[in-house]
Chain A
Amino acid sequence: MKMDLWKGIAILAAVFMLLVSLLTIVNYLQIQRADPIHTETINLLVDRLNQNPQDVSLRDQIRELDLLVRKAYFTNQWQVRTGAYLLLISLAVFIIAMQIVEGRKKPQPELETEETEGFLSIQKNTRRWVAVGGGVLVTTALLLTYLTHSELENRFELAAQGKPEVEKQLPAKDSVVVVQNKQADVSKQAEVVPVPEVLPNVEESKEVEKKPVEVQPKQIAENEKIEPESPKKTEPSKTISEQTLKNNFPSFRGYGGNGVSFKENLPLHWDGPSGENVLWKTEIPLHGYNSPIVWEDKVFLTGANDERQEVYCFNGNTGVLVWTAVIDNIPGSPAVSPEVTPDTGHAAPTMCTDGTHVYAIFSTGDVVALDMSGSIVWARNLGVPRNHYGHSSSLLTYEDKLLIQYDHSNEAKVMALNTQTGETLWSTARKVKVSWASPVLVNTGSQMELILNADPLVASYNPETGEELWQLKCMMGEVGPSVVYADGVVFAMNEYASLVAIQLGEQATILWEDDEFLSDVPSPVATDQYLFVATSYGVLVCYDAKTGEKYWEQEYDDGFYSSMMMNGDHIYLIDKRGITHIFKASNVFEEIAASPLGEAVYTTPAMGDKSIYIRAEKHLYRIGM
């Protein structure tokens, strides 16, 4: 009786369980459908509403629908949860009932009624099935492998090494082509990524490739052509007296490059637009940032772009372009000009002359010596300079030597070439970064010294031998201004670094330092007493040369690129707009004149007889009375 009751309960619980689970499943599926998150309709309606924000009925429809969906969702969720509890309870009831039912049944030992299989045959049968099971496993493994194996690991390893996959499906020939193409792509990519680094390399490699093929024979030919000539032309080497050099304007910033000229009666007032005191004005064919040099009645300039390199000679009296020498076909010269920035250009270094020849250097590393009539005496390439703006250090001569500061990122050195033949007399390697400053050659009392400014060294060399005389680690950055020397003190500076006054003596020592006003491009001038600094952003400052005390500062609206020139106690400084400010070299600021040229000027003026030569943006001017 009791047994039947429990049995009934068990059956009831089972039926109930089935029903609840069915209902719960239905509900569960409904939730999936009515999930408010997945109601695309509401989102669509909202999009429509955004397009017609005034549609009130649409808005109300959204709100209503939202409410409905939400209600349905939560009701369903409640139902599922309740269902789960009911299910669990009914399961528990079912189990309890069944346990009781089963527990009440007194176990009846099942006596051996049928003949049991023999123990051994059971074992045998089991062995067979275990073996079958193993066989099934192995077969499945083989089958699966056969069906799905795709050499993934090898492919990954190849791909990890960046190698292209060999396409198996293609016939052999095609696959080779494919692989080659892909490899070509890969190498292309590899080149393109680090653009600034690799480009020069590419050029170099091109150069290397070409040399043996085309250029070599030419080189030999040229050498043969030039060399027999040069000894004929070579006049007995006459040392030109210092006075002659001083009377002329043989290099950037005058004789020795120290920013001092030795003239009298230079003009003070002029006016470019009206032509006042402008003796002549001539257009310059090709652009360049180099400054004019003067020898007697000849004025020399260079100009270049990425295709042509030219040297110009003007008649100083008339302004007529006397000759133009085209510099090309120099052995070793790169086929493509190196990339330079427009603010440096291909013709930034100023020429120099020793009265016999004129010398010029270009961004390509081409150095050329011409005679006064414009024919090439010798020419050679120093190796393409690796310089991200373009080479800009100017040239100097000392006796029979052409001195070249050649500080570049692939090779930094200072060298002297034979002015007659162009061969290297000495070359001293330097541990410096790229420098855009120019060398300065001064007599420091006991000897001639070639002083160079670069990051990180200010260093001096014996111009005869190239031996380093002294060096000081005190500079940094991308050095533009050249040094200036006065009375045993060398002044070096660079913007974003510092201004250093170096006392020469047994040992070069720092006399004083300052970092308030620093120049980026223009070079300073100095007297025994004063140092004058012009900054590229337009401030002019006077320091005490020995103590570093600042006497005065003067701010101009326009900045300066042009370097200062000192003549007597007058200092000439041209701003970017072309106005030449002439002021007294004294501890009180006194501007004598401000004379406009009417054209932008970035170069340094050259002082001639009672006149000044100025290279402006497009024209060469001679100013004088």
Chain B
Amino acid sequence: MEAEEKKYNRREFVNTGIRFSIALGLGGVAALVAKRSAGGELVWQLDPSKCIQCGRCATSCVSSPSAVKCIHVYDMCGYCDLCGGYFRPGTKDLTTAAENQLCPTAAIKRSYIEEPFFEYSIDEDLCIGCGKCVKGCGAFGNGSLQLQVSHNICLNCNECAIARDCPTDAFSRVSSDKAYSFKGF
């Protein structure tokens, strides 16, 4: 009985030793990693200057429709009548009819302001983040339409599925206090 007790105590002693060395190791790893940490939270965002509008944001996101949305940076917009992001290329008459619209989900609204300016706004719920308008606006306009991860929808996955599929590595984790990065600003 006493021998058993002794054995038990020895086992407990060894266990305690192992336990504390594991805890120490864990603490070490945590400290090492924490030293490299930037501190604050990170969120996924895409860099519009790397984006080639390949359309994968629309299909790869775990959310549907995608958390990547076209966001209109109004400050950069030229308020053009002939908007490359709104009209299909080669459109003859500049009306809002279905056959003239570039957006596959008709998520862009065009409203008249005054001669010769029009304002374009995006219906978030309809936008699927395909980037078609972004390319059109970039080619002919100022590039005020830009794809961005919209943080009210993004689930901030540990590994972003779009980042994995992005051909140009445009996705990266950014600090949450600079959650949006617009090109040309």
Chain A residues in the interface with B (C-beta under 8 A): 36-37, 42, 45-46, 49-50, 53, 59, 62-63, 66-67, 70
Assess whether B130 is in contact with A59, with CB atoms less than 8 Å apart. no
Assess whether A59 is in contact with B99, with CB atoms less than 8 Å apart. yes
CA A50 to CA B99, docked complex, whole Å: 9
In the complex, how many residue pairs between chain A and chain B have their CB atoms under 8 Å apart? 28
Assess whether B98 is in contact with A66, with CB atoms less than 8 Å apart. yes
Known: A46-B88, A50-B90, A53-B92. A36 touches B97 (CB 8 A): no
Assess whether B98 is in contact with A62, with CB atoms less than 8 Å apart. yes
**A37, A49, A70: the one within 8 Å of B99 (CB):** A49
Main secondary structure, interface of A, reads: helix
Interface string of B103-130 (1 = CB under 8 A from A): 0111000000000000000000000101
Assess whether B104 is in contact with A63, with CB atoms less than 8 Å apart. no
Assess whether A59 is in contact with B90, with CB atoms less than 8 Å apart. no
Main secondary structure, interface of B, reads: loop
Assess whether A63 is in contact with B98, with CB atoms less than 8 Å apart. yes
A-chain residues with CB within 8 Å of residue B106 when the two chains form the complex: 66, 70
B-chain residues with CB within 8 Å of residue A45 when the two chains form the complex: 99
B-chain residues with CB within 8 Å of residue A67 when the two chains form the complex: 98
Assess whether A36 is in contact with B98, with CB atoms less than 8 Å apart. no
B-chain residues with CB within 8 Å of residue A66 when the two chains form the complex: 98-99, 106
Most buried by A among B104, B106, B130: B104
Assess whether A36 is in contact with B105, with CB atoms less than 8 Å apart. yes
**B58, B97, B104, B128: the one within 8 Å of A59 (CB):** B97
**B99, B128, B130: the one within 8 Å of A46 (CB):** B99
CA A5 to CA B29, docked complex, whole Å: 54
Assess whether B104 is in contact with A36, with CB atoms less than 8 Å apart. yes
Assess whether B99 is in contact with A63, with CB atoms less than 8 Å apart. yes
A/B interface sample: 26 pairs, CB < 8 A? A36-B104, A36-B105, A37-B58, A37-B104, A37-B128, A37-B130, A42-B98, A45-B99, A46-B88, A46-B99, A49-B99, A50-B90, A50-B92, A53-B92, A59-B97, A59-B99, A62-B98, A62-B99, A63-B97, A63-B98, A63-B99, A66-B98, A66-B99, A66-B106, A70-B105, A70-B106
A-chain residues with CB within 8 Å of residue B99 when the two chains form the complex: 45-46, 49, 59, 62-63, 66
Chain B residues in the interface with A (C-beta under 8 A): 58, 88, 90, 92, 97-99, 104-106, 128, 130
CB distance from B110 to the nearest CB of A (A): 16
Given A37-B58, A63-B97, 13 more A-B residue pairs with CB atoms under 8 Å apart are A36-B105, A37-B105, A37-B128, A42-B98, A53-B92, A59-B99, A62-B98, A63-B98, A63-B99, A66-B99, A66-B106, A67-B98, A70-B106
CB distance from B143 to the nearest CB of A (A): 23
CB distance from A248 to the nearest CB of B (A): 71
A-chain residues with CB within 8 Å of residue B88 when the two chains form the complex: 46
B-chain residues with CB within 8 Å of residue A70 when the two chains form the complex: 105-106
A-chain residues with CB within 8 Å of residue B105 when the two chains form the complex: 36-37, 70
CB distance from A533 to the nearest CB of B (A): 49
Residue of B at shortest CB range from A80?
A: B64
B-chain residues with CB within 8 Å of residue A37 when the two chains form the complex: 58, 104-105, 128, 130
A-chain residues with CB within 8 Å of residue B130 when the two chains form the complex: 37
CA A183 to CA B154, docked complex, whole Å: 52
CA A607 to CA B105, docked complex, whole Å: 86
CB distance from A141 to the nearest CB of B (A): 25
B-chain residues with CB within 8 Å of residue A53 when the two chains form the complex: 92
Residue of A at shortest CB range from B55?
A: A37
CB distance from B54 to the nearest CB of A (A): 14
A-chain residues with CB within 8 Å of residue B128 when the two chains form the complex: 37
Residue of B at shortest CB range from A65?
A: B98
CA A45 to CA B97, docked complex, whole Å: 14
CA A62 to CA B92, docked complex, whole Å: 16
CA A49 to CA B97, docked complex, whole Å: 13
CB distance from B132 to the nearest CB of A (A): 9
A-chain residues with CB within 8 Å of residue B92 when the two chains form the complex: 50, 53
CB distance from B129 to the nearest CB of A (A): 11
B-chain residues with CB within 8 Å of residue A50 when the two chains form the complex: 90, 92
Residue of A at shortest CB range from B105?
A: A36
CB distance from B62 to the nearest CB of A (A): 14
Residue of A at shortest CB range from B92?
A: A53
CB distance from B105 to the nearest CB of A (A): 6
